[in-house]
Amino acid sequence: MTDSFEFNPLNPLNLHYGRLALSVIIGMLIDLATYSHLWGIFGVTWILIIIFANYQSMIQFVKLTINHELVYKLQLLINSDNLEDHRMTSYGREVAHSVIFQIKNYANHIRLTIFPNGIKNSRIIDDLANDISRIFNAEVEKAPNSRYDSVTYIVKKCPTNILDVTHHELF
């Protein structure tokens, strides 16, 4: 069984803001066209329009919820290394660029592909094996990769120690 998903820390739910805005506008137009005192029905219609327009985000939400332990460990990995670039804005410090993870979860190992996605220090993703091994508490090897724009690591699961969520002293 293979469970695969993509985790982008800048947009974890893969929201398409244009679709979201369009679905809200369509919901408002339906409310205006069918104005009545039956607000409950129109509220349900609005929610259904938003869900159907953004069904991919709902699927991503379910995948992230199911794999919450893995997502937590990826957040630890991001925070332990320079895998995000920050910029100062008038509102404070915000993330400008972040790596993108593509995860394929197999029965005995996890295939973790990391895309630099414009971070300044993109060479750092070549040397993440030690940090991944420490955070996941598992054996890690760098997979041979024919792609030049990403690095793939294989995290081997140990049957006695199945990627438990423990708080590491990284911060």
Question: pLDDT per position in the chain (171 positions), as tens?
Answer: 568 899 998 888 888 888 888 877 877 777 777 665 555 556 677 777 777 778 888 899 999 999 999 999 999 998 887 788 888 989 888 888 889 999 998 888 999 999 988 888 777 888 888 888 888 888 888 888 767 788 889 999 876 545 555 555 544
156 Cβ contact list (under 8 Å, min separation 6): 108, 109, 138, 139, 140, 141
pLDDT of residue 22: 83
pLDDT of residue 104: 93
Residue 141 token pair: 């090897």
pLDDT of residue 170: 47
Buried b (16+ CB within 10 A) or exposed e, 32-44: eeeeeeeeeeeee
Q: How far apart are CA 6 and CA 18, in angstroms?
A: 21
Q: How far apart are CA 162 and CA 2, in angstroms?
A: 16
Say how many C-beta atoms besides its own lie within 10 A of residue 67's C-beta.
18
